[in-house]
């Protein structure tokens, strides 16, 4: 079984970690925030996580990062993510999937060894804007054989309910990382108080089995 390292437990990193964890994968999370690490463990988002600054190469060496098959760099800070990717490359990790906030950031990450660059907000915004009124689910990003990012119309049972009330993470095993509102506004990383309305389009991260089940709700 592969070993996954997720660095940065913000919204994007948490979605990656939770999906891998619930798929039964071996995963270790890292974040500089003690509060975030404890919250993710307490909420059963992942089992193993440590507090540390992965831009410090010694931290990665101490946890045996070189033994991981895949590393996700989910840090928004450009300088930190570049240093982390460089450290991972020097340790010999073959698969480094890094989040970038713009093309320049992504170009730098690629030059220092990241094997795949992800632009969550740019990618989601563009693809959602192009989405037609068909109910088909469209796969956007595939991180592993079982881990995907998809967009789908909000099912009617979601309408007029807030994300916190719907509790989609626990009830449906999905993580909503973006919403295109029915009036055209795109909300990346929606807050818990955002209300889902008829005509909204959701961008979710989950496993393929859950996608198939969720599609039946539409």
Over residues 16-58, the pLDDT tens digits come to 998 888 888 899 999 999 999 999 999 888 899 999 999 998 9
Mean pLDDT of the chain, nearest integer: 85
User: CB-based contacts of 114: which residues, under 8 Å, 6+ apart?
Assistant: 73, 85, 89, 96, 97, 98
Same domain, residue pair 83 and 180: no
82 or 175: which leads in pLDDT = 82
Task: Give the Å distances, CA to CA, from 135 to 64, 123, 147, 151.
Answer: 44, 20, 21, 10
Distance CA 125, CA 201 (A): 11
Contact 94, 121 (CB under 8 A): no
Same domain, residue pair 105 and 143: no
pLDDT tens digit string along 124-156?
A: 555 545 443 344 444 555 555 567 778 888 999
Same domain, residue pair 77 and 151: no
Question: Could you tell me the residue range of the domain that residue 50 belongs to?
Answer: 3-120
Q: Is 63 helix (H, G, I), strand (E, B) or coil?
A: coil
pLDDT over 70 percentage in the chain: 85
Q: What is the pTM of this model?
A: 0.61
pLDDT of residue 131: 44
How many domains does the chain contain in total?
Answer: 2
Same domain, residue pair 65 and 146: no
Same domain, residue pair 33 and 10: yes
The domain that contains 185 carries what CATH number?
Answer: 3.30.70.1450
Given a cut of 60, is residue 120 above it in pLDDT? yes
State the Cα torsion 47-48-52-55 to the nearest 10°: -110
Q: Which of 120, 151, 170 is the last residue of a domain?
A: 120
Please give the average per-residue pLDDT across 101-130, as a whole number.
78
Same domain, residue pair 142 and 66: no
Same domain, residue pair 114 and 22: yes
pLDDT tens digit string along 192-207?
A: 999 999 989 898 888 8
User: Could you tell me if residue 125 is inside a domain?
Assistant: no
pLDDT of residue 183: 79
Same domain, residue pair 135 and 181: yes
Given a cut of 50, is residue 174 above it in pLDDT? yes
Same domain, residue pair 112 and 145: no
pLDDT of residue 22: 82
Same domain, residue pair 151 and 89: no
Given a cut of 90, is residue 86 above it in pLDDT? yes
Contact 75, 114 (CB under 8 A): no
Strand partners, 202: 152, 179
pLDDT tens digit string along 57-75?
A: 899 999 999 999 999 999 9
The domain that contains 74 carries what CATH number?
Answer: 3.40.50.720
User: Could you tell me if residue 184 is inside a domain?
Assistant: yes
Which letter does DSSP use for residue 189 in this model?
S
Same domain, residue pair 115 and 32: yes
């Amino acid at each position: 079984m592969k070993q996954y390292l997720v660095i940065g437990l913000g919204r994007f990193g948490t979605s990656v970690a939770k999906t891998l964890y619930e798929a039964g994968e071996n995963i270790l999370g890292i974040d500089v925030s003690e509060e975030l690490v404890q919250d993710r463990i307490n909420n059963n988002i992942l089992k193993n996580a440590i507090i540390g600054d992965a831009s410090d190469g010694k931290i990665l060496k101490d946890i045996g990062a070189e033994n991981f098959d895949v590393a996700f760099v989910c840090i928004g800070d450009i300088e930190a993510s570049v240093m982390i990717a460089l450290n991972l490359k020097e340790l010999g990790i073959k698969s480094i999937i890094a989040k970038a906030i713009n093309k320049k950031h992504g170009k730098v990450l690629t030059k220092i060894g990241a094997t795949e660059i992800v632009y969550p907000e740019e990618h989601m915004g563009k693809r959602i804007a192009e989405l037609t009124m068909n109910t088909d689910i469209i796969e956007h990003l595939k991180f592993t054989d079982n881990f995907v990012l998809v967009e789908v119309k909000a099912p009617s049972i979601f309408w007029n309910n807030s994300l916190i009330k719907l509790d989609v993470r626990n009830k449906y095993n999905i993580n909503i990382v973006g919403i295109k509102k029915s009036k055209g506004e795109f909300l990346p990383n929606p807050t818990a108080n955002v209300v889902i309305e008829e005509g909204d389009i959701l961008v979710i991260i989950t496993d393929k089995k859950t996608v198939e089940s969720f599609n039946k709700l539409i």
